[in-house]
Amino acid sequence: MFRGFYTVGSGMIAQQRRTEMLSNNIANANTPGYKAEQSSIRSFTEMFMSRLDATRIPTEKGLNFRGLTPVGELSTGVYMQETLPQFSQGQLRETELKTDVALIDGPMDVNEETGIAGTVFFTLAGENGDPYYTRNGNFIVNAEGFLTNPSGLFVLDTAGNRIELPNDDIRITQEGVVFSGDQQTATLGIAYSDEPNRLLKRDNGLFSTVDGQALPMGGRYSMKQGYLEDSNVDAARTMTDMLTAYRAFEANQKVLQAYDRSMEKAVNEVGRVN
């Protein structure tokens, strides 16, 4: 009986966490470069139940032989194992701002072990030089003349240096070459990850590597100035998934109530001494 409470409770917790993840996807449906998260719900390790029997052996001493009779498998509940971003390309939206640039995926190599295609990112760095990666190309020129993202992280070029500009009147080619007037200023540094699911997701649409090491430059891509890549969240499907998670939570809740009524009957009626 008590094991049933734990099993149903684990299902409710898993669906609650899944609902929170889906709600976060909906909240970022209009965030440029946001990558929708997807969950993986798995079952805890199942237990194999057996009954311990005692068989009497017809000998002079009357020995007992203990044996096991299989009863069956018992599930101990489920849990949300992990959440992973989905790195599919989002729709492009025109902004007409010269410091906005959308990163467009080219044909990417697919990892033979995971079956997941590689992904390219803009490279950023904070004041301490820690590398970060993003698909959000909403950039600005700060007061010091450096190209940054809205959070103040510096956009890096192919050599890993900050990009300094005289003003925001710039031109960016499809290859990522930045011109100020007729003068070539820098080339946007685009990093490539052949295992994007191993990246750590940070706040504000940022990613970083597990070991803090920089990703290599490369990949096949193109860029479009005056555009931003929108979130790849499918709002209609996400709302449907939220309803499914809510129904599953509600079903677990009804089972929990049934267990509670059975326990109340066992305590108040079955266990009563007349």
> Exposed, middle or buried by CB within 10 Å (0-12, 13-18, 19+), for 253?
middle
> H-helix or E-strand containing 40?
strand 37-43
How confident is the model at residue 259, as a pLDDT? 81
Q: What is the pLDDT of residues 53-82, one digit of tens each?
A: 666 655 566 565 566 677 666 667 787 877
How confident is the model at residue 21, as a pLDDT? 93
Q: What is the pLDDT of residues 77-115, one digit of tens each?
A: 787 877 889 999 999 999 999 999 999 998 888 877 777
pLDDT at 270 exceeding the cut of 70: no
How confident is the model at residue 263, as a pLDDT? 79
- Please enumerate in sequence order all residues whose Cβ is within 8 A of that of 5, keeping only pairs 6 or more positions apart, or say none: 256, 259
Domain boundaries along the sequence of the chain: 2-82+234-270, 92-229
Q: What is the pLDDT of residues 171-218, one digit of tens each?
A: 999 999 999 988 999 999 999 998 898 899 888 889 999 888 899 998
pLDDT at 146 exceeding the cut of 90: yes
